[in-house]
Amino acid sequence: MKIAMQGMLIASMLIPQMSMGCTIDGSEGIVPEHNLKIPAHIKSVNGVTKERFDAVIDEVSTIYAPIVAQEGGELNVIKNWDDGTVNAYAQQVGKEWRVSMFGGLARHEAITEDGLALVVCHELGHHIGGAPRKVSPWSSPWASNEGQSDYFATLKCLRRVWNNDDNLSIIRKMEIPKHLKESCGMKHIWNDDYAVCIRGGMAGMSVAKLFQSLRKETTSPAFETPDAKVVTRTNDNHPATQCRLDTYFQGALCEVSFNDNVDGKDEVAGTCHGSLGHKTGLRPNCWFKPSVE
């Protein structure tokens, strides 16, 4: 008994020095554990080359490194192009706040450049995405949970990253589902806001199709078929595929500015929330249970 207690004490001393929102092998990254590897000699169907992989990641990290510094961290985005892992993860080692990206994910047939950017934003969201955070019995709850990291990606991160892009020209090249087009048109009256909403939704669809593929699901996610599940408590783990698409979609629809910051303790700050009278842009109840109404 004494030896077991000593072991627990040692573990509790070590874990805060190397806290992880996802396991080091990526098995608890943006997707749960799986065995798929896509080696570097396989070309991306969607044309994500090493050069574009680096460029997309650099664009996000350049914008967010100063923001992470303001939060007390030093952002280190690790680009593992040659690694076939189809995943990504976040990790904190002291003041070093890591995001690890893998070429295997970029080479998956479902992933577009915008989908790749969303994954970077999701992993950043574990560090600065706000409440709710994952509850851990071993260390301080530094990591925003999976659903919140998804929400942050389209609510804040992608909007900031794409703020100076010619978004209208970009979406003209896309085949946009009718429901996404109509929904973004009703919530965002300014042309560029509308275009960024479309891009966010399409990036979300790219990543949702990755989840569908890895889970070997026969039902495709769709904007017009939201997950009907209502949780009785917030789910910190990976939501279902449709639920995750719903989260990306609602983050894109929310009219709150990307300049209105989220907060690590306050689930309302910087978000669309029922307590503020919002009806759309809310985190879906398939994973999120509001603590205030």
Confidence at residue 189, expressed as pLDDT on a 0 to 100 scale: 84
DSSP string, 184-207: HHHH--SHHHHHHHHHHHHHHHHH
Q: Residue 53 pLDDT > 70, yes or no?
A: yes
pLDDT tens readout for residues 9-36: 333 333 333 445 554 333 468 988 888 9
pLDDT tens readout for residues 165-175: 999 999 999 99
When pLDDT is cut at 50, 70 and 90, the band that residue 1 belongs to is very low
pLDDT tens readout for residues 105-123: 999 999 999 999 999 999 9
Produce one character per residue of 14-34: b if its CB has 16 or more CB atoms within 10 Å, e if not. Answer: eeeeebbbbeeebebbbbeee
With a pLDDT cut of 70, the percent of the chain lying above it is: 89
Q: Residue 72 pLDDT > 60, yes or no?
A: yes
* Position with higher pLDDT, 88 vs 26: 88
Confidence at residue 13, expressed as pLDDT on a 0 to 100 scale: 37
pLDDT tens readout for residues 139-158: 568 999 999 999 999 999 99
Residue 57 near residue 77 (C-beta atoms within 8 A)? yes
DSSP string, 239-267: PPHHHHHHHHHHHHH--S-TTS---SS-S
When pLDDT is cut at 50, 70 and 90, the band that residue 292 belongs to is confident
Confidence at residue 141, expressed as pLDDT on a 0 to 100 scale: 81
How far is C-alpha 269 from the chain's CA centre? 18
Confidence at residue 18, expressed as pLDDT on a 0 to 100 scale: 45
Q: Provide the mean pLDDT of the chain.
A: 91
Q: Residue 245 pLDDT > 60, yes or no?
A: yes
Please report, as a single letter, which amino acid is at residue 146: E
Say what the pTM is.
0.91
Residue 100's DSSP bridge partners are: 78, 89
Confidence at residue 22, expressed as pLDDT on a 0 to 100 scale: 52
Domain layout of the chain by residue ranges: 30-276
Residues 6+ apart with CB under 8 A from 274: 282, 290, 293
pLDDT mean over 268-272: 98
Please report, as a single letter, which amino acid is at residue 60: V
Beta strands, E only, the chain: 19-20, 74-80, 88-93, 96-102
